[in-house]
Structure 1
């Protein structure tokens, strides 16, 4: 069973709460903090949840918007869903060791 984590990206709402409604207004704030991103990169960062973000970009965003990392990203743990078993189905075994094949025995024919 794997643990699934779900992330929510709140950059747009954090910008709106600070009175910043255009992505072009974010570029000079990041440049003041030494982050040089193109207009397109900033637009994608605001409109789409990123898969990867450099730590210096996160730090600059938090400083520019006067917020914490918890304000920008919310991480929630998704509980695994139990799959109901069919009637008469044997329970699944817990480890891979139970799936090993049984060693074969070679028998010679009986001589008369």
Structure 2
């Protein structure tokens, strides 16, 4: 997904992050300067749906305006059809030993 906040804001004559930050605060969403900088100039790793609702309300847009799909990136993450299966069952069937992980911690609930 591509984050499109800056373009959507510019289409509504909002040119500064501080201006949008003030508008969001007026709508009840207080955003720190650091988080606002990330939303304005970068690609946020996460965004709360409640915050997205307020941003869309302030900008009079929809989430589809802010989040642009990038199908090429999604396709690049899929494993190749020609590549061997990397599952443990496939590894065992291919003669390789599966990785055995030792459980650390409590096995039974406390009494």
TM, length-normalised to structure 1: 0.66
What secondary structure sits across from 2:53 in the alignment? Answer: helix
TM-score by length of 2: 0.67
Structure with larger Rg: 1
More helix by share: 2
Count of residue correspondences: 90
Bigger relative contact order, structure 1 or 2, given CA contacts below 8 A and separation 6+?
1
Considering only aligned residues, what root-mean-square deviation do their CA atoms show, in Å? 2.8
Structure 2 Cα separation of the partners of residues 46 and 66 of structure 1: 17
Q: Which runs of 5+ in 1 are unaligned?
A: 1-6, 85-90, 102-112
Q: Which has the larger strand fraction?
A: 1
Alignment of 1:1-112 (within 5 A): 7-77=1-71, 78-79=74-75, 80=78, 82=80, 92=84, 95-99=90-94
Structure 2 spans left out of the alignment, 5+ residues:
97-111
